[in-house]
Structure 1
């Protein structure tokens, strides 16, 4: 019997249910690790400096350690002569003492000899044998990095809860700290499910797909600081699935599966979770993409059953899994993705009872502002993952996003690079050839929104170039009528591209003997049509219209 989604819960409700069932989500314990192994982990204790830094007075320049009183009034006209009595080298305690009228040669970083209170730079002296002529005065403390001036022994230098990056490691190393106490990262085991999946690198048979989820989810977890292991694709067997997940649960804090979470007859993850003794607390989210999601708890261990479509699984990682990982690591639950403001180029429905996360591509307008072009590719899209710069969120109570509405874009990466050249409009394979020949592939972006979408992007100032092929049925000419329609006369140039041949593709041998447009009206013929607004669709509708006698093409043909 198929399981139905009896009660969908919001993302916030799901997190609350999980926290209540666990009696609170908290860090998993403290471990002590060598300094280099602490990178990307979270400090579990305050760090106080065990020593001063620097631990001794040291020279900041190459020159001579002197007493500032001895060179007061020194100038090019009235230089002062001092006697050189020794040399201070890096890593050695100076043997010489600086007395009245004396100087000690010193290297950058070397310890200041006793008696000196400043260092005169090499550029302002002349040495002849043991005699040093000084041509400028120094102030007390000049060019000296004093002991404890950076950090004093006993200072709090890092607080518990600090994420350790290379910068924190620099501080710890400088203070001589070789081991630190950190919160133990959660151990996560990841499985993919689906009879249709094969690992990348294997031969792809008909009706099969390469596994995306296992690789992207494991990578995301490791980016989040978890210790994630991908265990491959689970076999389509209840017993094998249950055994593998049970073994993983013994060794992990969290087990994540992708796929097998919807309401179909073949989806059994919820049953495996239950039969392992875990309590299923969520089966279905008010999220789009990401509705088919299962969450179960056994003792203090969590099982996440994420959707099988890659985009759905990734979005639920950001909304549900990532906050749990953050808390377990000792951080705040909100995953602070970098954000930018942008405006939407057109109106489109969103939300409507579900929290909806929509991937977008960013382009820079002529005035320097950003526009966010939504990728309406569907939750099964792989291209949408690679093309998008980030996503926007529509809350459950939203009905639509309006044209030119300002939105917050959550960036997937802090290193956002906006392309210099934006080509927005009809999909054109030839553009990629041109960009490669011109060496512009790294500095350009191509967004396919159809010919009319390209004209709108030109008018908004988003596009530098728009591919277009819109037919004027009155003149049977392409594109030249559009500047007047769009109010862009004298503001755009139209360059002729290349000619193309438009036709009907049929099975090899043309088994249904399709000869012309009239055959498309036959009940035994199915056509895969182009979208409205495309030049090819305009031409096709125009050719069909005389044959339809007033009937709409959408009702007269199969397809």
Structure 2
């Protein structure tokens, strides 16, 4: 198949991929960015006991009723408790306990006073005011109640999730297996950054761009590197990943030039699903299967590779990983700039979206990447659209951004 709409291309790819079902139990410190395989709930109240929010003294607040600076309440100090200690006796009426921040409030006490607001001499505490019950008092379960759902199955774990799970004593969590992704670029013209720039050569930005974006999305791709413009050699490398990865992602070699090798590669390694998507930039995208591995070959033009990665590859990776949060979001917005070109076919242009407004950079060429810096959306321009004036309402594809 060829010349598919973007929506049909994505739907076809989704038909030929499968959600990761393997479950791993990993240490909590290795779970950041992973997808939970089951629900987690609180097994106890947190904090698990009533506690003090400050350094001071605790006693029965009722004993201060009617007292003042002229007629202070006097308590006998019967002990001291720091965070991590536990005073297991009841504090009798007329007695007080020195307590530090985080210490468990013992039986017989229902308030805490700051140590700088009272006077202690030996075992005598003088309180020159009355205090209401439960002043400076943190209740058990104030943060999390027993039975609270901490994180649902399918949640991508953030640092905050990790902290919450740690606070509830979880040392390990069950997560979905990682999506296995290999990524390569094709082209004899490519050099790796760090090599001397030679005549006719360019640096391989696509590999760095998409590999980094994959990491932003929570994946850990295997970097294959640069494949030569040779069908046999490239096919040999790619075939080596058959059934070893879920997705093999490449850029370059998908058009109709002499060195657009991916058509020949696909004939040798698998079955073609489609070639060409009715969109600009990145129309000559190519997709294929290789056993249980899905191959997605994108344009070699930097912005075209970036745009088609977001619009074609990310929805597929969302399905495989079970992480719907990375999906692009469609909204409407109003242009603050004009777009002076007519769009014979469907076009996606880079943009910056904020609060219902969208502004455009000056450069929109598919080979230009610098103007994509800072952009967080694409404007989806339907085929047959003329020039876009300022204040035009347009459809926006908002890209997932790490919060």
Q: TM-score, normalised by structure 1?
A: 0.67
SS of residue in 2 equivalent to 1:227 = coil
> Alpha carbons of 1:201 and 1:337: their partners in 2 closer, same or farther (altered >3 Å)?
farther
Q: How much does 1:10 deviate?
A: 1.2
> Alpha carbons of 1:65 and 1:168: their partners in 2 closer, same or farther (altered >3 Å)?
same
SS of residue in 2 equivalent to 1:167 = helix
1:314 aligns with: 306
SS of residue in 1 equivalent to 2:360 = strand
1:531 aligns with: none
2:188 aligns with: 195
> Is the Cα contact below 8 Å between 2:250 and 2:296 reproduced in 1?
yes
CA–CA distance in structure 2, aligned partners of residues 146 and 321 of structure 1: 49
Q: Could you list the per-position Cα deviations for residues 19-45 of structure 1 after superposition, in whole angstroms to 9, with x for gaps in the alignment?
A: 2344xx423422111111111111110
Q: Could you list the per-position Cα deviations for residues 90-127 of structure 1 after superposition, in whole angstroms to 9, with x for gaps in the alignment?
A: 11112553101110010010111222122222243222
1:60 aligns with: 53
> Alpha carbons of 1:168 and 1:410: their partners in 2 closer, same or farther (altered >3 Å)?
same
1:158 aligns with: 151
CA–CA distance in structure 2, aligned partners of residues 17 and 149 of structure 1: 49
Whether 1:234 and 2:227 are equivalent positions in the alignment is: yes
CA–CA distance in structure 2, aligned partners of residues 349 and 412 of structure 1: 24
| Within-5 A mapping of 1:357-368 | 357-360=348-351
> Alpha carbons of 1:42 and 1:148: their partners in 2 closer, same or farther (altered >3 Å)?
same
> Is the Cα contact below 8 Å between 1:58 and 1:112 reproduced in 2?
yes
Whether 1:375 and 2:354 are equivalent positions in the alignment is: no
1:116 maps to which of 109, 113, 125: 109
Which structure: larger Rg?
1
Which residues of structure 1 form unaligned runs of 5+? 1-5, 417-559
SS of residue in 2 equivalent to 1:401 = coil
Q: How much does 1:407 deviate?
A: 4.2
2:11 aligns with: 16
> Is the Cα contact below 8 Å between 2:41 and 2:149 reproduced in 1?
yes
2:318 aligns with: 326
Q: How much does 1:255 deviate?
A: 0.3
CA–CA distance in structure 1, aligned partners of residues 32 and 343 of structure 2: 39
> Alpha carbons of 1:52 and 1:350: their partners in 2 closer, same or farther (altered >3 Å)?
farther
| Within-5 A mapping of 1:42-441 | 42-94=35-87, 97-276=90-269, 278-332=270-324, 335-336=327-328, 341-354=333-346, 356-360=347-351, 372-386=359-373, 388=375, 390-396=377-383, 398-407=385-394
> Is the Cα contact below 8 Å between 1:344 and 1:406 reproduced in 2?
no
> Alpha carbons of 1:255 and 1:71: their partners in 2 closer, same or farther (altered >3 Å)?
same
SS of residue in 1 equivalent to 2:142 = coil
CA–CA distance in structure 2, aligned partners of residues 371 and 155 of structure 1: 40
Q: Could you list the per-position Cα deviations for residues 417-448 of structure 1 after superposition, in whole angstroms to 9, with x for gaps in the alignment?
A: xxxxxxxxxxxxxxxxxxxxxxxxxxxxxxxx
Q: Could you list the per-position Cα deviations for residues 213-237 of structure 1 after superposition, in whole angstroms to 9, with x for gaps in the alignment?
A: 1111111111111121221111222
> Is the Cα contact below 8 Å between 1:41 and 1:329 reproduced in 2?
no
> Alpha carbons of 1:404 and 1:260: their partners in 2 closer, same or farther (altered >3 Å)?
same
CA–CA distance in structure 1, aligned partners of residues 55 and 339 of structure 2: 66
The structure whose RCO (Cα within 8 Å, separation 6+) is larger is 2
CA–CA distance in structure 1, aligned partners of residues 339 and 228 of structure 2: 44
SS of residue in 2 equivalent to 1:274 = helix
> Alpha carbons of 1:151 and 1:361: their partners in 2 closer, same or farther (altered >3 Å)?
closer
> Alpha carbons of 1:267 and 1:203: their partners in 2 closer, same or farther (altered >3 Å)?
same
Q: How much does 1:279 deviate?
A: 2.1
Q: Which segment drifts farther, 186-195 or 389-398? A: 389-398
> Is the Cα contact below 8 Å between 2:242 and 2:291 reproduced in 1?
no
CA–CA distance in structure 2, aligned partners of residues 117 and 388 of structure 1: 55
> Alpha carbons of 1:361 and 1:279: their partners in 2 closer, same or farther (altered >3 Å)?
same
CA–CA distance in structure 2, aligned partners of residues 141 and 387 of structure 1: 50
SS of residue in 1 equivalent to 2:208 = helix
Q: Could you list the per-position Cα deviations for residues 185-237 of structure 1 after superposition, in whole angstroms to 9, with x for gaps in the alignment?
A: 21111111012111122122222111111111111111111121221111222
Q: How much does 1:391 deviate?
A: 3.1
CA–CA distance in structure 1, aligned partners of residues 216 and 402 of structure 2: 15
Q: How large is the Cα RMSD of the aligned pairs?
A: 2.7
Which residues of structure 2 form unaligned runs of 5+? none
CA–CA distance in structure 2, aligned partners of residues 334 and 63 of structure 1: 48
CA–CA distance in structure 1, aligned partners of residues 402 and 46 of structure 2: 33
> Is the Cα contact below 8 Å between 1:295 and 1:304 reproduced in 2?
yes
